[in-house]
Amino acid sequence: MLLDRKRHDRKLVSVSPDKIVPSPFQPRREFDYYELLELSESIRRNGLIQPMTVRKLGERYELISGERRLKASVMAGLKTVPCIVVKAGDRECSLMCLIENIQRTDLGFFEEAMGIKKLMDDFLLTQQETAEKLAMAQSTLSNKLRLLKLTPEQRNRITAGNLCERHARAIIRLPEEKRDEMINRCLAERLSVSDTEALVESLLAPPERPNRPKSKGGIGDIRIFTNSITKMIGTMRRAGVEATSRKNETEEFIEYTIKIPKRPKKESAGITLFDLTV
């Protein structure tokens, strides 16, 4: 429990809405007008069944949880609203605000991520400490924080386009310069989550290298023969034969002209010279 019920005094009071100030720890930033209108009609007919939670701040009260109910109560014209007053510090208020909103299914996933980040920044908490306080796996918390790598403009476009958290998590995997393009495609082509993930995978995959043709040995490799000719000329010259060669290369063929004197200047035992015709 975030608040020890035995250690914190709690009492139910009726408070004028104009004496309640919003919490600076509230992660929620957007409220659907039509949902508020529907809730206000219910409150007008049935009253406010679930009290709000507040803490005393001088002559006023700071809202801890129930901002949606408060807004709807004002729309319904209530002069006073039921509130549970608790004694709580900033850390507990922040945790209560965040958890109360996380447990609501209509809290935006970017709002949730920003609330977690603010909690960590305000109270210098590590990811592990924050995950423990929110009863959340650290890997889950880390994935939610990664959503904030998207720019505010990108987050707004994703939210306005009704893309889900998995869309956003797939888009984050791309380099920054490719994220806008992927958001455009998701919106224009109405890509499903699976289609988006598959497309991201294909963009991240390394390009396939073309299969290099294997060089064929034997007569197909001209370099073997040109090297052989060069080596043969070298062998003859070391043996005392003043052999020379001239290479002429065209688009169609390579031509070698080899000159071998009939009378070598030096005799070399153990070396036999072959007749070489090119």
Taking phi over 0 as left and psi of -120 to 50 as alpha, with beta for the rest, 30 belongs to beta
Select which of 67, 92, 100, 111 is catalytic. 67
- Active-site residue, 67 included: yes
Structure tokens at 13: 């009071």
Chain centroid to Cα 39, Å, comes to 37
Which residue from 178, 166, 169, 184 is spatially nearest to 203, judged by alpha carbons? 178
Which residue from 64, 154, 159, 151 is spatially nearest to 109, judged by alpha carbons? 159
Q: Using CA atoms, how far apart are residues 12 and 53, in angstroms rounded to an integer? A: 9
Contact yes or no for 14/81 (Cβ under 8 A)? yes
Q: Determine the Cα angle at 177 with ends 175 and 179, to 5°.
A: 70
**Which residues are the active-site residues?**
67
